[in-house]
Amino acid sequence: MRIFLEQMINGLTIGSFYALIALGYSMVYGVMKLINFAHGDLFALGSYLGFSLLVWGSAYVTSHVGLAGGMIAAMLIAAIGIGMAGIIVERIAYRPIYPAGRLPAVVSALGVSIFLQNAIMVAWGPRYQAYPVNVVPTVRFEIGGIHITLLQIIILILSFILLALLYYIIQKTTFGAAIRASALDRDTAALMGININTVIFFIFALGPALGGTAGVMVGMYYRQISFTMGWNYGLKAFTATILGGIGNIPGAMVGGLLLGIFEMLGSAYISTAYKDVFVFLILILVLIFRPRGLLGEKVAEKV
């Protein structure tokens, strides 16, 4: 039981990474019907951005705003920087080729992904980089025999706040309704006075911003980052998106958290070596038995 609960906590922690990244895939797919393959690499770029800020800026930041301030600054700057990167990617790599159809855009997304991955390698080197150890003090709490670290608590709370905020924006505000409407029917959305370019700007800023923040969290959690991390996390988060129902915002959140839990339980009770196999088995099963995902609407019901 103890192992089970601890693995649940671990699962929720990495699940919240997946959820934060998955939102970017889901929002972009919802409105653009485009799988933004560059999204995982934007996440990785965020992780590296946070790394540089914490390493090079640590002396300055720590003396001025303390450790917690340094962490928050790193996440904030990564969020803003990656949000801007997302907009630039859309402008340069996607917008010019929308008229050519969906497939060219997907190919372009793959191109951006490869470009970003190599850019990171050139800028930061091909070797693993290690996040500084002391960003969050290594404090471990024991509650009823279950261990949880301070870092985990911070990650869980922060992720929860971000997920709740995004849920609120998308599901409860009129602008959020405008985003969902644009995803359903762009022409009719325009008749309402919704400027699709505003919507596109927003989703390409916000999705990557959340991904960049997750990048910093992953760096702090695992300490080690590599320029290929975008593929691995991107694929898992994409799986989470499919699991929850692509295009569906609550679905991406639920899918991410569930996937994290599956992965951790799988590695505890079945085999660590097979945990990725386990994840992709889920992807395959979902695609076969419930292709619209857990919360996804039935697609193509209307003519």
CB of 99 to other proteins, least distance (A): 13
For residues 8 and 196, which CB has a smaller minimum distance to other proteins in the complex? 196
For residues 63 and 174, which CB has a smaller minimum distance to other proteins in the complex? 174
d(CA 163, CA 213) in angstroms, rounded, equals: 12
Sorted by sequence, the CB contacts under 8 Å of residue 150 that are 6+ apart come out as: 136, 137, 138, 139, 140, 141
Largest CA distance in the chain: 62
Query: Per CB under 8 A, does 127 bind other proteins?
Result: no
Type of residue at 225: I
CB of 178 to other proteins, least distance (A): 6
Task: By CB under 8 A, name the one of 118, 134, 138, 188 that touches other proteins.
Answer: 188
d(CA 292, CA 27) in angstroms, rounded, equals: 15
CB of 246 to other proteins, least distance (A): 14
Task: By CB under 8 A, name the one of 12, 71, 79, 189 that touches other proteins.
Answer: 189
Work out the angle at residue 114's Cα, subtended by the Cα atoms of residues 79 and 101, and round it to the nearest 5 degrees: 90
What distances in angstroms separate CA 210 from CA 23, 31, 74, 174, 264, one per listed residue? 8, 17, 13, 21, 23
CB of 196 to other proteins, least distance (A): 7
Decide: residue 183, CB within 10 A, 0-12 exposed, 13-18 middle, 19+ buried: buried
User: Do 39 and 208 form a contact (C-beta atoms < 8 A)?
Assistant: yes
For residues 103 and 303, which CB has a smaller minimum distance to other proteins in the complex? 303
What distances in angstroms separate CA 251 from CA 82, 84, 203, 213, one per listed residue? 23, 25, 16, 20
d(CA 282, CA 60) in angstroms, rounded, equals: 45
Q: Phi/psi at 225 (nearest 5 deg)?
A: -130, 150
CB of 238 to other proteins, least distance (A): 22
CB of 36 to other proteins, least distance (A): 22
As a dihedral over the C-alpha atoms of residue 302, residue 202, residue 90, residue 215, rounded to 10 degrees, the angle is -110
Q: Contacts with other proteins in 190-209 (CB under 8 A)?
A: 190-196
Type of residue at 246: I
CB of 19 to other proteins, least distance (A): 21
Count of residues touching other proteins (by CB under 8 A)? 20
For residues 169 and 235, which CB has a smaller minimum distance to other proteins in the complex? 169
CB of 122 to other proteins, least distance (A): 41
Q: Residue 198, Cβ neighbours under 10 Å: how many?
A: 13
For residues 208 and 296, which CB has a smaller minimum distance to other proteins in the complex? 296
Segment near other proteins (CB under 8 A), from 45-53, 92-100, 102-110, 184-192? 184-192
Binding mask 140-179 for other proteins (x = CB under 8 A): ----------------------------------xx-xx-
Task: By CB under 8 A, name the one of 20, 181, 205, 220 that touches other proteins.
Answer: 181
List of residues contacting other proteins (CB under 8 A): 174-175, 177-178, 180-181, 184-185, 187-196, 297, 302
